[in-house]
Amino acid sequence: MLRWSGHENGNDVDLDALGQNHPGSVSPLDVALHEFASAAAIGEVDALTTAREHLLGLAGADVLVDSAAIVANFEMMTRLADGTGCRMPAGGVEANVAVVAAFGFGDVVSKR
């Protein structure tokens, strides 16, 4: 979504550079959004508070609220899929190995 919204606003986002912690190659807003989404995914309260304050100061309340809504929507979709027993196809898992490793999702134990 970050890549799409950046494109729609005339700012192509280099997700590879962002994911490899090369913030100088992307805009400050891209970095702030990445920090916010990462902190929300990890669930660390202090990191989320810092990221939220940074995003609020940089982009304002409207962007913060929209970003929180997107995070909440992804969380909802994950819970719905998990609650229905929906499983990700093997090809989907293989395509996302780098993301899974970067965020430590492989260490998360399913509640099923």
Q: How confident is the model at residue 56 (pLDDT cuts 50, 70, 90)?
A: very high
Domain residue extents for the chain: 2-107
Of residues 36, 108, 46, 44, the one with CA closest to residue 70: 36
User: Which residue did the predictor score with more confidence, 97 or 44?
Assistant: 44
Banded model confidence at residue 46, pLDDT cuts 50, 70, 90: very high
Q: How far apart are CA 111 and CA 60, in angstroms?
A: 36
Q: What pLDDT, on the 0 to 100 scale, is given for residue 90?
A: 72
User: pTM higher than 0.95 for the full model?
Assistant: no
pLDDT at res. 108: 64
